[in-house]
Amino acid sequence: MSLIGTGAAGGTLLAMGVARARELARGFLQHDPDRWLHVQEVAARAEELRPAVAAADGPVLVVAAWLHDIGYSPALRVTSFHPLDGARYLHRAGYPREAALVAHHSGARFVAEVRGLTTELAAFPFAEDPLTDALTYADQTVGPRGRRLSVADRLAEAIRRHGPGAASSLAAPRRGPYIHAAAERTEARL
């Protein structure tokens, strides 16, 4: 599955549409049925959250939701840090806005710090804005097999699943408050 060459510098996946982003995600993630269920439900959740972002950003939110976990694909794995691997692919393809959203979804910067990848992730601009908040909220209210969860339950589930020594678990004291705040801001915007 390749997107390289279809974008333009500063382009957006909206040129090809949400349906193309869904097919791209399917191509990269169909090898992992649980991850694919998660991504489908995150995209459905993003559709529901469109009122929390500017009208022009609604499609961007849904596109980013479809693509947020493509970095788990073996075809894209370089660092084994899925936000960075997915973002690098999207950036090479000419989609810098979506690359930044994928790079920073769900407080990835806190996990990058634990993993020693802060400099690499900094290549993608971080914005604390309604779009980033809504993507984080969508991702952090859906479990690994597509089941809806509260943010608190999702964060606890991730620590149980990955174990207390995992980078995401070690980042939890800083990442958790950020995710809860993003959820609160998104709910207030709705």
Say if residues 167 and 160 touch (Cβ distance below 8 Å): no
Kindly report whether the global pTM for this prediction surpasses the value 0.85.
yes
Query: Does the pLDDT at position 99 exceed 60?
Result: yes
Query: Does the pLDDT at position 100 exceed 70?
Result: yes
The rounded mean pLDDT for the chain is: 93
Query: Does the pLDDT at position 15 exceed 70?
Result: no
Considering the segment(s) 13-189 as one domain, its CATH architecture is Orthogonal Bundle (1.10)
What's the pLDDT at 3? 46
Percent over 90 (pLDDT), the chain: 89
3-state secondary structure of 84: helix
- Domain range list for the chain: 13-189
3-state secondary structure of 148: strand
CA–CA separation, 70 vs 90, rounded Å? 10
Name the pLDDT band for 17 (thresholds 50, 70, 90). confident
Q: Residue 28 burial by CB count (10 A; 0-12/13-18/19+): exposed, middle or buried?
A: buried
Written as one letter, the residue type at 152 is A
What's the pLDDT at 143? 96
Name the pLDDT band for 9 (thresholds 50, 70, 90). very low
Over residues 43-70, the pLDDT tens digits come to 999 999 999 999 999 999 999 999 999 9
Over residues 142-182, the pLDDT tens digits come to 999 999 999 999 999 999 999 999 999 999 999 999 999 99
Task: Give mean pLDDT, residues 115-124.
Answer: 98
What's the pLDDT at 12? 56
DSSP state of 54: -
